[in-house]
Structure 1
Amino acid sequence: MSAPNGILVVDKPGEWTSHDVVARVRRLAGTRKVGHAGTLDPMATGVLILGLGPSTRLLTYIVGADKEYLATVRLGASTTTDDAEGENLGWAPAARVRAITPDRLAAAVAHLTGEIDQVPSSVSAIKVDGKRAYAKVRVGEQVELKARPVTVSEFEVLDTREASVGDALALDVDVRVVCSSGTYVRALARDLGVALLTGGHLTALRRTRVGPFAVTDARPLENLDVAQTLIAPADAASALFPVLALSAEQATDLGHGKRIGVDAPDADTAAAVAPDGRLVGLAAVRTGSARTIVNFPDAGQQEQESR
């Protein structure tokens, strides 16, 4: 029996780490060759992309895809982690929360839309001096991260409602965000609170899309049948890139690393697919010729090569 090979789109449950999901899928699939394309916080739910077998090579290309989120921002208080899991740093006066008009909220959201410089949350997975920022924060170290350019292509307010939290008043704002890889929605919540002088943090986060893979394609971990759920390597690559259809001879030559002549438009990256539907690799196409960027042996070939 060949080892599993393909892309798996999982609907991550809350309170699970991305590593927890990888460990579960390794057990279900009976292979150690499982990786993921970008973490989700434990409190977050939604799309987590896993690669199995040779298809882990595709994860590098999925990590950089744009992402879509549905989230709830609570305006009225900041926290140490910019989300509900952190320590509350104090509530804003109720009058200040009530002063958030639809126009002020829209203006603050617009200011955080487009190409912006964002300071990541201090509890992010970014490495500082060789250690994850969140690990340094947990042991009491002060972490200051530099702003980095990100793109928030869509930041849409879906709904707002007042919320009473003990004696405090908050405004819960449901939003939809489409952003580039490396954007922190927690940081958007924090910065929205700063702009409105109330403080802000995230209380809910659901990733609904990574590149072409939507939450409607995702499967829950409960009763997950890996073999039935895997997206074939060629199908996954074809969703990400234009398809370069090969003849049998071209597939052999390209698989051996040869440059081949093709009748296809230029592409920085194309999914090179053999006549039998197998993903031969990813190729760069220029002026009628194609060269391999990375080969994708099938799982059986990889097992033989590793022996």
Structure 2
Amino acid sequence: MINDGIININKEQNMTSHDVVGRVRKILNMKKVGHTGTLDPMATGVLPICIGRATRIIEYLDLDLKGYLCTMKLGVDTDTMDAWGNETARADEAAVNAVSEDDVMEAFMDFNGPVSQIPPAYSAIKVNGKRLYDYARSGEKVDVPSRDIYITNLDIEEMQLHKGYDTTITFYVECTKGTYIRSICHDAGELMGVHGMMTALERTDSGVFSVENAVTLDELAAMDEDELEEIIHPAYAPLIHFGEIEVNEYDAMRLVNGLPVWVSHCNMLRRPEYEMKSFLIDLREEYRRAYNVFGLMEEGRKFIGVVFTDETVENVMPIKIFYDGGQKD
């Protein structure tokens, strides 16, 4: 059985991301399990779960774009910016009915490209070492700094207008990590002058993972070992923005033992995507020098791990090693 890799879970509603991790631990009887990014309890869709040593790549997924299909309702605001919170404001129903398609399109025009977004009060963001939802629940006020995000695409899928407090807008958005869709609903509602709250959210994509290829927890629990092997992705699968190199067995073992390898000994198959260009938001400089390294071993081509070149680009330095002598590609 594969003990390391990534499972693309289709999260059900009314489960926290931590709940999903717990279920996967129990199903697979494994302790080392982690998720790649929190999905709100009421949201559904893609939640990649890393198992075994694949949990070590979670920190490298900053470059993954996320896709969401969201439905919002006009006329009401809540403390959580969604339908699961307590109502804090309500617009006049006549004003809600007066919202036109042009009003909607104009409001959403602001959510394109770089955006400075203030996270919801009920969120897991930490301020001064404490999560925002803990401040909110205790009634404690705190200044919440804005965050730079980037929205690459936002399309209005459907508008059900002139229906009073049942007026809804459904939209698809593609964005960088850390974007709060609840905040988009809230802010768009304010721009239309009638408030707005999120009523449904599905994450359709997270990097290379899509909801079409995701499995539910019940489906996972019913799988035998052969079926599990088919749906577990290798640890390097989402690291598509890194470069790719091959080394011979001798140099592969140098890396495994924590030793550098001359760049001149490496077969550079692909350069890092952001080696010479900017990302949509701030980028860790090491990503410009990051590679997935594969060794041409006696038993075949094997994933060795993640390496960075040094600043002189003379050596590749082992950063995270995955090869254990018997792991499959």
Under a length normalisation based on structure 2, what TM-score does the superposition of the two structures give? Answer: 0.83
Amino acid at match of 1:278: K
8 Å CA contact 2:36–2:58 kept in 1: the answer is yes
- Which residue does 1:119 correspond to in 2? 118
Amino acid at match of 2:248: S
Structure 1 ranges of 4+ moved more than 6 A: 299-302
Question: What is the DSSP-based 3-state SS (H/G/I as helix, E as strand, rest coil) of the residue aligned with 2:165?
Answer: strand
Deviation for aligned residue 1:223: 3.0
- Which residue does 1:139 correspond to in 2? 138
Task: Find 2:196's aligned residue among 197, 200, 207.
Answer: 200
Relative distance call for 1:207 and 1:273 in structure 2 (3 A) is same
Larger RCO (alpha carbons 8 Å, 6+ apart): 1
Relative distance call for 1:212 and 1:235 in structure 2 (3 A) is closer
Question: What is the DSSP-based 3-state SS (H/G/I as helix, E as strand, rest coil) of the residue aligned with 1:219?
Answer: coil
8 Å CA contact 2:245–2:292 kept in 1: the answer is yes
- Give the root-mean-square deviation of aligned CA atoms: 2.3
Task: Find 1:269's aligned residue among 282, 290, 297.
Answer: 290
Distance in structure 2 (CA, Å) of the matches to 1:92 and 1:54: 51
Distance in structure 1 (CA, Å) of the matches to 2:245 and 2:22: 34
Q: Deviations along 1:219-269, whole A, 9 cap, x unmatched?
A: 1111303444211224444x4533223322332223232223224254322
Q: Deviations along 1:17-41, whole A, 9 cap, x unmatched?
A: 1011000111112111111111111
Larger deviation: 228-237 or 29-38? 228-237
Question: What is the DSSP-based 3-state SS (H/G/I as helix, E as strand, rest coil) of the residue aligned with 1:223?
Answer: helix
Percent identity (aligned): 31
Distance in structure 2 (CA, Å) of the matches to 1:227 and 1:53: 14
- Which residue does 1:259 correspond to in 2? 261
Deviation for aligned residue 1:299: 6.3
Which runs of structure 2 are paired with 1:18-167 in the superposition (5 Å)?
18-162=17-161
8 Å CA contact 1:72–1:173 kept in 2: the answer is yes
8 Å CA contact 1:97–1:170 kept in 2: the answer is no
Distance in structure 1 (CA, Å) of the matches to 2:241 and 2:213: 15
8 Å CA contact 2:203–2:211 kept in 1: the answer is yes
- Which residue does 1:297 correspond to in 2? 322
Question: What is the DSSP-based 3-state SS (H/G/I as helix, E as strand, rest coil) of the residue aligned with 1:111?
Answer: coil
Under a length normalisation based on structure 1, what TM-score does the superposition of the two structures give? Answer: 0.88
Amino acid at match of 1:295: K
Unaligned runs of 5+ in 1: 303-307
Relative distance call for 1:120 and 1:60 in structure 2 (3 A) is same
Question: What is the DSSP-based 3-state SS (H/G/I as helix, E as strand, rest coil) of the residue aligned with 1:222?
Answer: helix
Q: Deviations along 1:46-97, whole A, 9 cap, x unmatched?
A: 1111111111111111254221100001111111100111012232122222
